[in-house]
Structure 1
Amino acid sequence: MQSAARPESPRTADATVYSRDAELAAVRGLFADPDAGARALVLVGEAGIGKTTLWSAGVEAARGAGWTVLTARGAPEESGLSFAGLMDLMESLPDSTLAALPQIQRAAVEAALLRAAPTTAIGPLEVGAGTLALLRGLCRERPVLVAVDDLQWLDEPTTDALWFAVRRLGSAALRILTAYRTAGVADDESYVRKYIAADDIPLEAVERLTVGPLGSEPIRQLISDRFSTVLPTGAADRIAEQTGGNPFWALEVGAALAAEPGPWRARAVAASELPIPASLSALVRRRLGNLEREVHEVLLTVAMLDQPTIALTRRVLAPAVADPDAAIDRAVAAGVVAALSGRLRVAHPLLSAAVVDATPPLARGALHRRLAAVVEDPELRARHVLRAWQGEPDAEIAAYLEAGSTSAAARGAVRSAAELAERAADCTPAGDRDDRCRRLRVAGELHLRAGDYQQARTCAEKVWRTGVEDRRRALPVLVEATWWADGRHKAEGFVAPLVANTELDTHTRAVVLALAADVGDGLGTPRAELARRSLELFDQVGDEADGAALATALLYSALADLEAGRGIAFDRMNRIGELQRELPYVVSSNRADNVIASWYKDVDDLDRSRVALHTAIAANQDLGDEPMLASLYGHLALTEIWAGRPSAARDALDRGAPLISSDAGKPVGMGAAEATLTLFSDSIGTTRPQIERLPGGGIMTASLTGLAALLDNDDEAAAEILGSALAKARQAGVHEPGRRGRFEGNLAQALVNLGRLDEARELAAELTRLGTAGNRPTLLGIGRRIEGLSLGAEGDLDAAARALEEAVASHRASQFPVELGRSLLALGQIQRRRKDGPRAGEALRAALDCFEAAGAVPFADLARGELGKGRRGAGGEALTPTEQQVADLVAAGHTNREVAARLFISIRTVETHLASVYRKLGVRSRSELAARHR
């Protein structure tokens, strides 16, 4: 039988693409201007309408233009196989290309592509990051086309990895050409499949092109060319009408006519006499019915195999046909199966769906069982076993499904693994309660990793309700999923009654208390106390302690020490790291390396903070963990601000901004760093309103708002805001200045200005105590500065000068240049009051140098104001500190643009200040201003 259902091979000659000039122009236009950034073209249409023909033409056009072309064709039999599409896309890449990847990414991609066994825990992020690195590297060499036909059948793990990479390659020389099927051609609902909308491709430049029907003349030409026959007058019109202009179905009709004996072949007859089937479904059934038995067997086998290589197909066919190789050859000759590079595929997805749907369920199940016995990959075997399962509990089937889940998880296909683990639990006989609970618990953990919090909670709840001995292992998943799904208060509400339940065994109570240290126990018990009680119970449990829960208890114990001002508990953090290395998955924000990197700055060690954060950033870049990266960049920006490196801080913010997750929102550290840079970059009069509008209301916002009020000479507001923040922090057990916004020096200065010296000295004593215990010169310097300010307020200028000189000496050993500048500024003010002009000027100029180097404009304004005291205009009206700063720079010959850049303010602000300077000093030009300053 001559068939129209041949594989649609790539074509380059326009003559083989019938009546598609506009569509071909759109496809070729995709490759114009490769440097214009990533773009996508999505060919949309019903099955058989000609999408693949246009897609193939685009693939050949890209190859002809010298592009790197990565192709994959989705297939219904492969849609459940993890990374089947990614293996197709990357098939042409040599191992040497993968070898250039960072180790974590290389291991993840090699495992996903089945080129190497997994050597470490792998998740979707690692595979996505590796895919991104591969595409980015290829795009650097030459333009890249990613071409996916039948996108609706691309497996979900591949889709996740591919879209993770694509959305991050917006400026690369990348093009995406896809085709996906919409419903509407067949009158059999079995052909209607779920498809992916064009809007799901994560690029801004996505063109959707609907491939429509052919007219009667192109259909006449198509059939005449393919079957070397002349249709009677009107026949093409009738075929076009019945098939809706669909070329695949038109060719099927043509094939039926070519095989049909009758008078129409010998003479021209009316179109109404043509032996066309009454429906397209009937045509397909006739087509399948006309196949010889062994060819039908080959077609069905290929349609049901996930990876139908010739060798594998031969093994499956061996029990069913006498000569598998001959049967395969006849199927290829019949046009129902295509062979390419050692693999087989059904010639057209419509035939695949039809032959599977026409097979009775029991016969289909028997074939799946035969396939399961032949395939070697555990996940493939699990898929076939699952399709053959008839719904009755079966321990052997459950074991196969569990093995498939384990294999998928090891390759980073977490969603697929979660599904298989859950189905394994469903398949487990009722008597195997421990096995069922273990599988449900694993499914919950995998759903949690995949971000399906509702399903993770459902699985964990089932385990918790069973009462099995190790049900406690489901608790961390249950609490974490509840937090993410419904918020911390819901999680706390679940944990609270468990904390009060004294009948729980020791191990379970230890886990419950560790979780309560995370979410709360409903009674307001301090985290430190809950962690302490948990660790005491874990000591009783010994080596069998739950690693994840023990790490949680240790983390909150270490956090309690940090917030109490006792520094970083490196012994506990190192132990956490050891425990986490044995766990299959750890929430990135709790990983020991990330936590320590973010804590160094809180204990004043900015140099180590910078190194540790850069190391953590590099590691998380390899993992592809963007929310964690955004958080780390925020911590790095704060580190650089405090280290007096505003340009480095801005660079960190610029790198972190594109990584902010719409779900997680902007990290607190990033928001605080942005606000601090804003506060430091302009005069306080224009900045304070902006700071006060910052969202959140947390301790960092209070710290910045209080500082803004202090710099704006609003001591009452500063004392109220910062005093309230201090009271709340102390109530929560937070005594570490680095954890409460470092506002103690600002609060103390406001208190001194208001004459509340006893309260200021209380703060000084607290800082001195912490600084002495931890050998921290920054805290010692601030403490001595507060003492010096208090002594100066009482009039004891000599004692104040000595205290401030000690503060300056301490700060010279610290890593906070702004704090050094502030102590120098205070010393200069006291020296001036002592009538020691030379020393006052020396201290004030040194303070100004510190502030300018750190980009701290408001403090630099204060220092200039002190240096310029007594300098007034002709009318007796004094210049403001910012006006004085602008006047000095303009008089020195700087342009307005240079002044703006130097002072981190806008050109318009410079112009406004300069106009005020002219008015106050009674000058009319830059030259007069320069003369006035000589």
Structure 2
Amino acid sequence: MSDTGGVVGRDRELATVTAFLDALPSGASGLLLEGAAGIGKTTVWDAGVAGAAARSYIILSSRPAESEATLSFAALGDLMDGVLGQVLPQLPPPQRRALEVALLIADPVGSPPEQRAVCLAFLAVIRHLSASGPVVIAIDDLQWLDLPSAAALEFALRRLGSEPVGLLASVRIQAGGQATPVAGAGLPAGRLTRIQVGPLTVPAFEAALRASAGAWLSRLTVRRLFGASGGNPFYGLELARALNRAGGEPAPEEPLPVPADLRGVLSARLGVLPDDVQGVLLAASCLRSPTTTMLERANGPVVRSALQTAALEGVVEFEGARVRFTHPLLASAIYSGGSPDRRREAHHRLSKVVPNVEERARHLALSAEGPDEDAAAALSQAARAAAARGAPAAAAELAELAATLTPLDQAPARWRRRADAGAYLFRAGDTARARHDLEALAEEMPAGAARAEALLVLARVLLHDAGDLVAVPVLEKALVDASADRLLQARIHISLARTCGDDLLYCASHAEAGLALAQQAGDPALTGEAMVQKLYADFMVGRGLDLELGDRAMDLEREGRPPRVEERAAMWVGLCLVRADRFDEARRLLELTLQAAREEGDDSSLPNLLAHLADLECWAGNWQTAERYAAECWEAGQQVEHRAWRVMTFFARALISAQMGRLDAARAAAGEGLSVSAAAGDSYGSILLNGVLGFAELSAGNLEAAEASLSSAADLADHISLAEPAAWRFHANQAEAVIGLGDLDRAEGLVERLEGWG
């Protein structure tokens, strides 16, 4: 559909609107967009109106308001505006007179016009207009249609058959999920489609927020807003604006502010409830998944009657034993409206009854009046548990709370917990927030092993956000700080080996150093990490593929694996197997790695993994699978915002486009990716993208352009000591381009070099 580029997260709804518009020339039909207030019905409706205009359909439009529902023929006047001069002369005099009086164009003379005469006139207008092309009757907020207009609309729609006339309308869903009674639907059920416009997904909600009022918000806060708004974009934007007015993001222990214009409405609804009911609701608002049993254990026998009272007022509803607020904003209003003392009291009671270790630690922390090492330690433990179960965003929130509650005289513990929070944020995909917090932490810490730990985490973030040129100096600084800690030094050497950017021999030397230190320390898990980095680095610099070393690394990883999935042995062994054309073995390892990343909530590993899977399936000839992985890679990259490693998302998109013959798309993606890699000083990424761009130009017969890109890739490969021609498979294409240009002597040298590597 045209003119829908700004609509986020509504592909299903837009596809339905497109189908409705495309089918309209075949006969009368209707499409109702149903949903809660603020959910985005009008956005989809606007896109439908734009689509109708793009098709040159005739559009009769009205946006009735609640205040106009008692005005006679107000909406009918809107619908007829702009066409009256064309259609009035075509009407029989009685119908024309009735319509003119109804629309206040003429003064009534004698008895007022009958409703039927107005209805017949409107039907005649619709039929006249539809004779020259499809007509769309577009009404936003159909439930506010005044009754006389609704009657005219319903009368006309019931009498239409083969005429190309369509009703496109939005209509509000009442609390409880029931559609507001709609006047004017008119069409028989077989010709009327109803579609529910529901909450946005988290990625779509985040995109909508960042496009308007929330560009500055961290992903952790965006997710809190999503939970508080129920995925409703209008309420989410209002919450974001309230945060903006408040001057910043709330700390994990602080409630979200309820916007002033919503606070009045919500307060009026809640203010009629007795104090004991509000006390039970406060406890429910403190819980992620409140149940009647849990609330009774915390608040006693008053709970049942209190919840029934709240349910009668439409504040809560029940799903078995589960208690659910009819809208998440009600929970936010109740919680933010409670005094700090009452909130602490509620959390204290709940900390004694919740069965989950994470929730118990969280309630214990939120009941504390100041720094408390016992609560901080419990939160830190809960954060590790959350990360282990695949919830790094929850782990980050818990670790931040732990750092906040750590007493001031225990700085090393507070630093460690802040570093943990940064690592969890990064795994959850909140790259910008992780970098900001970790840079601030490293800046305030003195030199030593504790700072080296923080720098190690920061460097991992910088590698993805800013590239090797920024990350490597931070790791080298960490190596100096860790001079007295052999095991920490080994971890830093291994991280330097993973940079894989401007000097592969440098990476190989750090892999060897890390392996030696890990073996001396007798740490099997770290030894496995170093082994697989040595395997990969040795392979890339032309020392052969030692898969036995990879098998040993995967065995040792059972003793303890890296938290981030893309750092695990299966990932690196899988990449080597792709280069060796052992696609089935590589697929098994990379798919297992992808499954682990999804199960563990490791969003930060997804773009790289998906890019390599797209590369694998391209070379295996599975084009549809490769295209799916490339699309997923792009989406994952948009979510985590790895500014430097966006190169991999551009690579995946360019590669599949080039292989599928979409050469302009390949050029565009490769060109954007090369800009990113140049900004980050990423030679490795430039090799990948020049290789793909060269292949695209070779496919198009542009030999000079192909030779330039492929030779650039080859020169950069020599610069970083890449001596494994199977790594990215562009050397043969370079030779082909040179042959096509007639430089046979040079081509012979390239082929001889390639054979020598073989």
TM-score by length of 2: 0.55
Q: Does 1:53 align with 2:154?
A: no
Mapped pair 1:538 → 2:659: no
Which position in structure 2 is the counterpart of 1:424? 402
| Partner residue in 1 for 2:623 | 650
Give unmatched runs, 5+ long, in structure 1.
1-25, 75-84, 87-123, 125-153, 164-175, 195-243, 250-279, 641-647, 771-778, 780-934
- 1:377 maps to amino acid: N
Q: Residues 525 and 372 (structure 1 numbering): CA distance in 2 closer, same or farther, change over 3 Å?
A: same
The alpha carbon displacement at 1:760 in A equals: 3.8
SS of 1:741's partner is coil
User: Which letter does structure 1 place at the counterpart of 2:690?
Assistant: T
SS in 2 for 1:737: coil
Q: Which residue of 2 aligns with 1:609?
A: 583
Instruction: Say whether the 8 Å CA contact 1:52–1:179 is kept in structure 2.
Output: no
Query: SS in structure 1 opposite 2:516?
Result: helix
Q: Which of residues 617, 627, 632 is equivalent to 2:612?
A: 632
Contact 2:490–2:517 under 8 Å retained in 1: yes
What is the Cα deviation at residue 303 of structure 1?
Answer: 4.9
* Contact 2:226 2:236 (C-alpha < 8 Å) held by counterparts: no
Q: CA deviation at 1:177?
A: 10
Letter in 1 for 2:177: S
**Residue 154 (structure 2) aligns with:** none
Q: Is the 8 A contact 2:372 2:405 kept in 1?
A: yes
Task: Specify the SS of the correspondent of 1:526.
Answer: helix
Q: Which moved more, 1:363-372 or 1:670-679?
A: 670-679
Shift of 1:670: 5.7
Partner of 1:566: 543
From 282, 296, 300, give the equivalent of 1:314: 296
Alignment of 1:471-490 (within 5 A): 472-490=452-470
> Does the aligned pair in 1 maintain the 2:358–2:382 contact within 8 Å?
yes
The residue identity in structure 2 corresponding to 1:56 is G
Question: Structure 1 residues 400 and 342, CA, compared in 2 at 3 Å: closer, same or farther?
Answer: same
* Residue in 2 that maps onto 1:577: 554
Going from structure 1 to structure 2, the CA distance change for 1:763 and 1:159 (only over 3 Å counts) comes to: same
Q: CA deviation at 1:57?
A: 0.7
Correspondence for 2:139:
none
Q: Indicate the residue corresponding to 1:736 in structure 2.
A: 724
Aligned-pair distance for 1:450?
1.2
1:360-439 aligned at under 5 Å gives the runs 360-390=339-369, 392-439=370-417
Deviation for aligned residue 1:675: 3.2
CA distance in structure 2 between the partners assigned to 1:728 and 1:404 by the alignment: 47
Q: State the alpha-carbon separation in 2 of the partners of residues 711 and 518 from structure 1.
A: 36
Aligned-residue offset at 1:156: 7.1
Give the conservation status (yes or no) of the 8 Å contact 1:372–1:385.
yes
**In the alignment, which residue of structure 2 is the partner of 1:854?**
none
In the TM superposition, what is the alpha-carbon distance from 1:52 to its structure 2 partner?
6.6
Deviation at 1:512, TM superposition (A): 2.9
Cα gap change, 1:162 to 1:751, in 2 (>3 Å):
farther
- Choose from 497, 504, 508 the match for 2:488: 508
SS in 1 for 2:407: coil
Cα distance in 2 for residues equivalent to 1:651 and 1:623: 22
Do structure 1's residue 43 and structure 2's residue 36 form an aligned pair? yes
The structure-2 alpha-carbon separation of the partners of 1:479 and 1:349, relative to structure 1 and needing over 3 Å to count, comes to: closer
Choose 502-511 or 703-712, whichever is displaced more: 703-712
| Alpha-carbon distance, 1:393 to partner | 1.2
CA distance in structure 2 between the aligned counterparts of 1:347 and 1:708, rounded to whole angstroms: 58
Amino acid paired to 1:767:
E
* Corresponding letter in the other structure for 2:518: F
**Aligned pair 1:698/2:684, yes or no?**
no
Structure 2 Cα separation of the partners of residues 692 and 307 of structure 1 = 47
1:668 aligns with 2:657: no
Partner of 1:528: 508
- CA deviations on 1:112-162 (whole Å, 9 max, x unpaired) are xxxxxxxxxxxx9xxxxxxxxxxxxxxxxxxxxxxxxxxxxx997699899
Q: Give the direction of change, closer, same or farther, for the CA distance of 1:159–1:570 in structure 2 (3 Å limit).
A: farther
Residues 296 and 494 (structure 1), Cα distance of their counterparts in 2 relative to 1, 3 Å cut:
closer
State the superposition RMSD in angstroms: 5.9
Tell me the residue number matched to 2:28: none
**Relative to 1, partners in 2 of residues 1:178 and 1:70: Cα closer, same or farther, differing over 3 Å?**
same
Alignment of 1:171-570 (within 5 A): 181=235, 287=272, 291=274, 294=276, 297-298=279-280, 300-318=282-300, 341-344=320-323, 359-390=338-369, 392-457=370-435, 460=438, 462=441, 465=445, 469=449, 472-499=452-479, 503-519=483-499, 526-543=506-523, 547=526, 553-570=530-547
Whole-angstrom CA distance in 1 between matches of 2:501 and 2:558: 28
User: Which residue number in structure 2 is paired with residue 222 of structure 1?
Assistant: none
How has the CA–CA distance of structure 1 residues 678 and 707 changed in structure 2, closer, same or farther, with 3 Å as cutoff? closer
1:369 to partner: Cα distance: 1.4
Check whether the contact 1:707–1:743 (CA below 8 A) recurs between aligned residues: no
1:16-71 superposed Cα distances (whole Å, 9 cap, x missing partner): xxxxxxxxxx9xx99x99x99x997542269xx9977255214999xx99x9x999
Q: TM-score, normalised by structure 1?
A: 0.46
CA deviation vs aligned residue, 1:862-883 (integer Å, no higher than 9, x gap): xxxxxxxxxxxxxxxxxxxxxx
C-alpha change, 1:406 and 1:575, in structure 2 (3 Å) is same
Q: Taking structure 1 as reference, are residues 669 and 623 closer, same or farther at Cα in structure 2, changes over 3 Å only?
A: same
* Residue type at the aligned position of 2:586: A
Query: Number of residues paired by the alignment?
Result: 532
Amino acid at match of 1:563: M
Which residue pairs with 2:47 in the alignment?
A: none
Report the CA distance between 1:419 and its aligned residue: 1.2
Cα drift, residue 424 of structure 1: 0.6
Q: How big is the shift at 1:479?
A: 0.4
Q: Deviations over 1:670-711 (max 9, x none)?
A: 6346435649x9xxxx99999998974636735874997799
Deviation at 1:427, TM superposition (A): 0.6
The equivalences for 1:10-89 within 5 A come to 41-44=34-37, 53=174, 56-58=177-179
User: Is residue 588 of structure 2 the alignment partner of residue 599 of structure 1?
Assistant: no
What secondary structure does 1:596 align onto? helix
Give the 3-state SS of the residue equivalent to 1:484 in structure 2: helix
Distance 1:424 1:437, change over 3 A: same
The answer on whether the counterparts of 2:570 and 2:590 sit within 8 Å (CA) in structure 1 is yes
Aligned equivalents of 1:57, 1:712: Cα separation in 2: 61
**CA displacement at 1:418 relative to structure 2:** 0.3
**Correspondence list, 1:66-215, <5 A:** 181=235
Structure 2 CA distance for partners of 1:674 and 1:414, relative to 1, 3 Å? same
Task: Tell me the CA shift for residue 477 of structure 1.
Answer: 1.6
1:403/1:411 CA distance change after superposition, 3 Å: same
Deviations along 1:305-360, one digit per CA (max 9) or x if unpaired, are 55443322222234xx8x76677677778988766633456788888677656654
User: Counterpart amino acid of 2:372?
Assistant: D
Closer/same/farther in 2, CA of residues 157 and 404 from structure 1, 3 Å limit:
farther
Instruction: Letter of the 1:671 partner, please give it.
Output: A
Q: Alpha-carbon deviations, 1:552-576, whole Å to 9, x = none?
A: 5434422232123333221332344
Deviation at 1:448, TM superposition (A): 1.1
Q: Which amino acid aligns with 1:309?
A: T
- Pairwise CA distance, 1:527: 1.9
Q: Residues 310 and 342 of structure 1 are in contact (CA less than 8 Å); yes or no, is this contact kept in structure 2? A: yes
Asked if the contact 1:555–1:573 (Cα under 8 Å) also holds between the matched residues in 2, the reply is yes
Give the whole-Å Cα distance in 2 for the aligned partners of 1:600 and 1:317. Answer: 60
Distance 1:40 1:579, change over 3 A: farther
Distance 1:636 1:309, change over 3 A: closer
Shift of 1:421: 0.8
Report the Cα distance in structure 1 between the residues aligned to 2:657 and 2:326, rounded to whole angstroms.
58
